[in-house]
Amino acid sequence: MSELRISGLYVEVETEDGPKEILKGVDLTVGTGEVHAIMGPNGSGKSTLAYSIAGHPKYHITAGSVTLDGTELSTLSVDERARAGLFLAMQYPVEVPGVSMANFLRTAKTAVSGEAPKVRTWVKEVNEAFDKVGLESSFAARSLNEGFSGGEKKRAEVAQLELLNPKFAILDETDSGLDIDALRIVSEGVNRYTAAGDRGVLLITHYTRILNYIKPDFVHVFVDGHIVAEGGAELADRLEIEGYDKFVKAAKANA
Amino acid sequence: MTVPNVAEAVEAVASHLHPTPSWEVADHPLPTGREEVWRFTPLRRVKTLLEDSGATGESLDWATELPSGVTLEPIDAQRARELAAEAPIDRISALAVQNCNRAYHLNVPADTELSEPIILTATGTGQTVAQQFVVTIGAHAKATIVVRYVGTATLNEKTDLIVGDGATVSFVTITDWDAGAIHGGHHALMVGRDAQVRVVAASLGGDVTRMAETARYAGPGGSLEQFGVYFVDAGQHVEHRLFVDHNAPRTNSHVDYRGALQGEGAHSVWVGDVLIRKVAEGINTYETNKNLVLTDGCRADSVPNLEIETGEIEGAGHSSTTGRFDDEQLFYLRSRGIPEDEARRLVVHGFFADIIRRIGVPEVEERLMVAVEQELAVMVGGANGAGE
């Protein structure tokens, strides 16, 4: 059993007007075998949580800690965090022209597993992972994310998730911009990843519709840089009906 | 009354960006360094290219194997002028013509389709050379020509490439010089009606390289791709000055030059001028220059210019970026566990592979990827953990 523990996390981002505090004390523990959904309105700091855990240089942790099985992640570099078992599926995957998917995946797999994947089985594995998310095998020869449609980028993120098989995955609005077929395919990929019960997921989303496909064990409502309500899957159903308004108003009243 | 033809319709455009071509050295005075077209050039270091010290009688040692039908012959000065795409646009190339022993003419006859590239290797052994080279490609021919410079020399050169109507041509120049080489010149290109032309300039070695590359169209429908790759190390100066003259309707040009700089005093210059004349309706042009600055102490000058005399065009644009690594690309790669050194290698590799893969000549692509690897070896400075 592994554990991703976020405690008392405060994070600032650099802006033109100086540093701005985005996360204001986040406490959350994700264990393996658990799917946690973080739901919140735009601008609540959900993505900041994802990126600061992954170590994006734009975000500065000013207080608190993030540990993976007791190892403090905030003192590790971005790649060290990934090698410790963390994966971030990004909302806007970055295009890297001239670097083929195949080369990238092999390099990443070698880095996270500590040894080069076996040539013969690896190609097959990559093709299967692509096939499962509905990408042609020709994508292996294409430059990383370059010229992919929005949906193809998200599918490719999920193919990476399955191939790299990290201990914990943070999915940052992986559902946004997907049509219903793509949403189903992407969700099935996430469900395959968690099926064995030894992986943990932090699913960040604005909408409840992905939760029709991926059943969360816990739902956290995120407003103004911290968690304001927690519950099980039924909390998402309530959000579907009531929206975020009540939580936003309550947060303002408390501010 | 005659119907105005394209040549008559092409008006004179007064601009400092493209000086008047002339065969006369006297029309190209010794620059002071204050001129717009010379202000980036280290004049002291190209002094020998600018001084008229007369013919040296020396030439580079040329080696090639020509397919049947293709000829390479000496021609006299008068014939060279007749064939040329354009007169010299600067003093360096005017001196190249004036002081050259004998011009050479490579001809690929009309309708010839070559399956293999013609590779010409010019070797210098330290001599001072003035050189004039004319390449003509007949109508509807298909050919790939690679000119590779190796060794060392002080070289003034003028190269003309005249591509016939409907021909498909790749013309690659690789300056693969050893340290000490100084190379300046003018490549003038004429794109035939409906011709498809790809020109590649790869600047890999030598101390100073200063190339002017001009292109015009002999008729409508021609399409030009110009790719450039350059690596500039400590103390090197690499300068590419391009001018695409859209003087005919429905012509295309796409220019993409990329360079990496590293080490104290590494200096690259890219000037990309495009003129869209009144007559050039329905044209499409895009120019881009990207410089990757890998260390402190480098300087990349990048100046795109677009002069538009008609609005009746399909598209016109340019872009220029100079900077260090793209932080978002590095973050993405590292978020997948790839160590920083290796992520940088991938990004640099990709930056060049992205353009090299479009050259379409395997021998050249391989040579350039080796050069990319060598640059990367310098960059990571033998750091461990970055190996494949």
- B300 strand-pairing partners: B268
For residues A234 and A200, give the distance between their C-alpha atoms in angstroms, rounded to a whole number.
20
Give the A:B interface size as CB pairs under 8 Å: 83
Report, in angstroms and rounded to the nearest whole number, the Rg of chain B calculated over CA atoms.
21
**B304 plus B376 within the same structural domain:** no
Residue B283 lies in a domain: yes
Q: Per CATH, is A3-254 categorized as 3.40.50.1100? A: no
A103 lies within 8 A of chain B by CB: yes
**Rounded distance, CA B153 to CA B124, Å?**
5
CA distance A135 to chain B (A): 20
* pLDDT under 50: residue ranges of chain A: none
Residue range B367-377: average pLDDT?
89
pTM of the model: 0.82
Nearest-angstrom CA–CA distance, B22 and B273: 19
What would the pLDDT profile of B238-279 be if each residue is shown by its tens digit?
Answer: 999 999 999 999 999 999 999 999 999 999 999 999 999 999
**Nearest-by-Cβ selection for A94 from B332, B346, B354:** B332
Residue type, B66: L
Beta-bridged to residue B225, according to DSSP, are B198, B254
Q: Which of B332, B338, B353 sits opposite A107 (nearest CB)?
A: B338
B338·A79 Cβ contact <8 A: yes
Q: What is the pLDDT of residues A107-136, one digit of tens each?
A: 999 999 999 999 889 999 999 999 999 999
Query: What pLDDT sits at residue A26?
Result: 97
**SS3 helix, strand, coil % of chain A, rounded to 5?**
40, 30, 30
Residue of B nearest to A85 (CA): B337
Q: Does A96 touch chain B (CB under 8 A)?
A: yes
Instruction: From A243, A236, A223, select the one nearest A36 (Cα to Cα).
Output: A236
Give the pLDDT of residue B386. Answer: 34
Q: How many domains does chain B contain in total?
A: 2
pLDDT at B2 over 90: no
Q: How many residues does chain A have?
A: 255
Banded pLDDT at B28 (limits 50, 70, 90): very high
Tell me which of B324, B339, B364 is where a domain ends.
Answer: B324
Give yes or no: residues B308 and B332 share one domain.
no
Interhelix angle for A101-113 vs B340-356, to 10°?
170
**Residue-level length of chain B:** 388
The closest of A112, A221, A115 to A163, measured between CA atoms, is: A112
Contact residues on chain B for A148, CB-CB shorter than 8 A: none
Query: Binning pLDDT at 50, 70 and 90, where does residue B18 land?
Result: low
When pLDDT is averaged across residues B27-40 and rounded to a whole number, the result is 94
Cβ <8 Å between A55 and B333: no
For residue A46, the distance in angstroms to the closest alpha carbon of chain B comes to 18
Cα angle A228, A230, A232 (rounded to 5 degrees) comes to 155
> Do B102 and B242 fall within a single domain?
yes
Residue B381 has pLDDT above 60, yes or no: no
Nearest-Å Rg of the Cα atoms of chain A is 18
Among B329, B335, B340, B354, the residue to mutate for chain A (most A Cβ within 10 A): B335
d(CA A22, CA A58): 12
**Dihedral Cα A37, A43, A45, A48, nearest 10 deg:** 110
Q: Does B346 touch chain A (CB under 8 A)?
A: yes
- Asked if A104 has any chain B CB less than 8 Å from its own CB, the reply is yes
Asked if this assembly's ipTM is beyond 0.85, the reply is yes
**Which of A76, A94, A95, A153 best probes binding to B when mutated, by most B CB atoms within 10 angstroms?**
A94
Indicate if the alpha-carbon torsion angle B334, A33, A189, A102 is positive or negative: positive
Pair B96, B232 in one domain: yes
A106, A130, B247, B305 from B274: Cα distances, Å = 42, 43, 10, 6
How far does A56 lie from chain B, in Å, by closest CA?
7
Q: What's the pLDDT at A254?
A: 78
pLDDT band at B20 (very low <50, low <70, confident <90, very high): confident
pLDDT in tens, B115-172: 999 999 999 999 999 999 999 999 999 999 999 999 999 999 999 999 999 999 999 9
Are both B149 and B255 inside the same structural domain? Answer: yes
Residue B365 pLDDT > 70:
yes
Which band of pLDDT confidence, cut at 50, 70 and 90, is reported for residue B4? very low
Pair of tokens at residue A158: 């999920």
Phi, psi angle pair for B53, to nearest 5°? -100, 15
User: What is the average pLDDT score of chain B?
Assistant: 92
The token pair that represents B218 in the structure block: 């002999």
Residue B1 lies in a domain: no
What is the span of the domain harbouring residue B341? Answer: 325-388
B369 CB within 8 Å of a chain A CB: no
Longest dimension (CA), chain A: 60
DSSP symbols for B63-84: EE-PPTT-EEEEE-HHHHHHH-
Q: Kindly report the nearest CA distance between residue B370 and chain A, in angstroms.
A: 15
Same domain, B49 and B142: yes
Write down the pLDDT at residue B14.
54
Q: Which amino acid is at B342?
A: E
Parallel/antiparallel/unpaired status of strands A226-231 and B208-217: unpaired
Same domain assignment for residues B256 and B333: no
Domain identity same for B208 and B345: no
pLDDT at A251: 82
Residue of A nearest to B351 (CA): A98
Of chain B residues 146-175, which have a CB less than 8 A from chain A?
none
Q: Measured between CB atoms, does A196 come within 8 Å of chain B?
A: no
Cβ A104–B346 below 8 Å, yes or no? yes
Greater model confidence, A165 or B18: A165
Q: Is B206 exposed, middle or buried (0-12, 13-18, 19+ CB in 10 A)?
A: buried
**Interval B296-349: pLDDT, tens:** 999 999 999 999 999 999 999 999 999 888 889 999 999 999 999 999 999 999
Is residue B331 located within the same domain as residue B317?
A: no
CB contact under 8 A, B351 and A54: no
| Contact yes or no for A78 and B327 at CB 8 A | no
Instruction: Specify the pLDDT at position B388.
Output: 33
C-beta separation of A161 from A189 below 8 A: yes
The answer to whether residues B132 and B193 belong to one domain is: yes
Q: Is residue B383's pLDDT more than 70?
A: no
Interface check for A30 against chain B (CB to CB < 8 A): the answer is no
pLDDT tens per residue across span B39-52: 999 999 999 999 99
Please say if the pLDDT value at position B96 is more than 90: yes
Domain co-membership, B317 together with B353: no
* CB-CB under 8 Å, A164 with B350: no
pLDDT for the residue B10: 47
Q: Are residues B259 and B341 both part of a single domain?
A: no
Please name which of A244, A243, A232 lies closest in space to residue A35, comparing C-alpha atoms.
A232
B343 near A CB under 8 A: yes
Least Cα distance to B230 among B297, B287, B171, B177 occurs for B177
B256 assigned to some structural domain: yes
| A55 close contact with B: CB closer than 8 A | yes
Q: What is the chain B residue with the closest CA to A80? A: B337
Beta-bridged to residue A252, according to DSSP, are none
Q: Which of B227, B327, B333 to mutate to test the interface with A (most CBs of A within 10 A)?
A: B333
Q: What percentage of chain A reaches a pLDDT higher than 70?
A: 100
Of A56, A93, A99, the CB nearest to B346: A99
Q: In this model, does residue B385 exceed pLDDT 50?
A: no
Tell me: pLDDT of B16 over 70: no
